[in-house]
Homo-oligomer: A and B are copies of this chain.
């Protein structure tokens, strides 16, 4: 893959990644399609909200439908009917989420299937094998995540294990499409630097920041971002994994991050929590039961933006009766909001007015719906 920085404004930058299945403008947000589907959303709608690249979960797809099935389709794109780029995580985060059900060794992770209790094993080599079958445009190294809080020596050991696994991932992966390294080291700035340098020596196509959004404070997260991102390679994409709120994305971009993914816009949508320029909105609240306005008057999404738009009252009604169309519409809106936010940031960076754009963003978000 090729990555080109096109414009820079302070640490914030815009660019383009040329991937096997298409080009991706950065900064970019990647909607999460856990099992090969963004819940409730057709690939047509993904195109309508202008998704450029989506994320698939290696762990979940490995369990269901299984790699043999996806292999028949020569990858996830053809299997799920999406002909643009896909990034897959390595399964490391999901295995970590299993908690006591897993046992971590140098070789890899032994664990029980959360579906049927089967004994399973995941390692750098296994993860690379699966991701190559998924034919991801971007694969991620298999790493160990760490809890927070954690002692520095535990964080060090874990970070070193992740580095050794990163090397095994790289060797095993070979030359197919592209592979990103993941910086670990918990909330310790020197460990983060050491992890980054170790990965740079291994030469990856991009560098991700893992192990954030695991329960630490916003201050801790920003402290790590501010110390780490400026020393990440300029000519490679920087990916902040599993983050976050609209405000998190803005701060990430401000600090030089190029890529994000998060379940927030989609999961919150299903629970009736909607994002707008003027703040968030809980559509199930009784005050919206007869509100004739769209979710956001100024929004151009397929839900708010047409002449014959869907009203807050209608979406309130659908959510109250648990009608799946409610989730389809709210997910569509939230994804548009996130993806349009990224588009606005790319534009502001290109026009070199990111700082005033950011001020305006915070001002409007505080107005309230």
Look across to chain B and name the residue whose beta carbon is closest to the beta carbon of A73. B292
Q: Give the number of times this chain occurs in the complex, counting copies.
A: 2
Given known A41-B325, A302-B44, A308-B43, contact A317–B73 (CB-CB < 8 A): no
Please name all residues of chain B whose beta carbon is closer than 8 Å to the beta carbon of A308 when the two chains form the complex.
43, 78, 81-83
Contact with B along A305-349 (1 / 0, CB 8 A): 000111101101110110111011100000000000000000000
Do B69 and A323 have beta carbons less than 8 Å apart?
no
Check B317–A35 contact: CB distance below 8 A. Answer: yes
- Which residues of B lie under 8 Å from residue A78 when comparing CB positions? 308
* 8 Å CB interface, A113-137 against B: none
Query: Can you list 15 A-B contacts (CB < 8 A)?
Result: A35-B323, A37-B325, A39-B323, A39-B324, A40-B40, A41-B325, A42-B329, A44-B302, A64-B320, A65-B317, A69-B290, A72-B290, A72-B313, A73-B311, A324-B324
Contact between chains at B323 and A81 (CB < 8 Å): no
A42 to B72, CA, bound (A): 32
B-side contacts of A317, CB under 8 Å: 35-36, 64-65, 69
- Closest B residue to A63 using CB positions: B321
Most chain B beta carbons < 10 A, residue from A37, A79, A329: A37
Smallest CB separation, A13 vs chain B (Å): 32
A323 touches B289 (CB 8 A): no
- Determine the distance from Cα of A290 to Cα of B314 in the docked complex, in whole angstroms: 39
A317 to B40, CA, bound (A): 14
From residue A287, how far is it (CB to closest CB) to chain B in Å? 13
Q: Is A248's CB within 8 Å of the partner chain B?
A: no
A80 at the interface (CB under 8 A from B): yes
Is A190 an interface residue, CB under 8 A from the partner? no
The answer to whether A69 touches B36, judged by C-beta atoms less than 8 angstroms apart, is: no
A68 & B290 in contact (Cβ 8 Å cutoff): yes
In A35-73, which residues have CB < 8 Å from any B CB?
35-44, 64-65, 68-69, 72-73
The residues of B that contact A310 with a CB separation of less than 8 Å are 80-81
Question: Do A79 and B42 touch (CB < 8 A)?
Answer: no
Interface size on A, residues (CB 8 A): 43
Instruction: Give the residue name and chain of the B residue nearest to A37 (CB).
Output: B325
Q: Which of A41, A82, A83, A311 has the most CB of B within 10 A?
A: A311
A24 vs chain B, min Cβ distance (A): 18
Among residues of B, the one whose C-beta sits closest to the C-beta of A40 is B324
Q: Residues of B contacting A309 with CB < 8 Å?
A: 81
**Alpha-carbon separation in the docked complex, A317 to B264 (Å):** 24
Q: In the complex, what distance in Å separates the CA atom of A329 from the CA atom of B44?
A: 11
Give which listed residue, B40, B41, B313, contacts A69 with CB less than 8 A: B313
Contact check, B81 vs A39: say whether CB atoms are below 8 A apart: no
What are the interface flags for A3-47 relative to B under an 8 Å C-beta threshold, 1 for contact and 0 otherwise? 000000000000000000000000000000001111111111000
8 Å CB contact of A328 from B65, B302, B328: B328
Contact assessment for A65 and B324 in the assembled complex, using a CB-CB cutoff below 8 Å: no
Beta-carbon contact of B320 and A37 below 8 Å: no
From residue A135, how far is it (CB to closest CB) to chain B in Å? 15
